Amino acid sequence: MVAFPTETYYGLAVDPCNAQALERLFEIKRRSRELPILVLVSGREQLQQTTADVSAVYERLMQCFWPGPLTLVCTARPCLPQQLTGNTGTVGVRHSPHPTANQLLAAFGGPITATSANLSGHPPAVTADEVARIFAGAVDLILDGGQTPGGSGSTLVRLHGASLSCLREGKIAFSAVQACVDSLNS
Stretch 136-158: mean pLDDT: 96
Q: How far apart are CA 121 and CA 162, in angstroms?
A: 33
Stretch 73-89: mean pLDDT: 95
Whether this prediction's pTM lies above 0.85 is answered by yes
Is residue 76 within 8 A of residue 158, CB to CB? The reply is no
pLDDT band at 185 (very low <50, low <70, confident <90, very high): confident
Residue ranges per structural domain of the chain: 2-184
Stretch 100-127: mean pLDDT: 97
pLDDT in tens, 160-183: 988 999 999 999 999 999 999 998
Stretch 52-74: mean pLDDT: 94
pLDDT in tens, 1-12: 999 999 999 999
The pLDDT value recorded for residue 101 is 97
DSSP state of 44: H
State the fold for domain 2-184. DHBP synthase (3.90.870)
pLDDT band at 42 (very low <50, low <70, confident <90, very high): very high
**What DSSP element (H or E) covers 57?**
helix 56-65
3-state secondary structure of 26: helix
Q: How far apart are CA 115 and CA 107, in angstroms?
A: 19
**What DSSP element (H or E) covers 150?**
none
Q: How far apart are CA 148 and CA 50, in angstroms?
A: 27
Please give, one letter per residue, the 3-state secondary structure of 77-132.
Answer: CCCCCHHHHCCCCEEEEECCCCHHHHHHHHHHCCCEECEECCCCCCCCCCCHHHHH
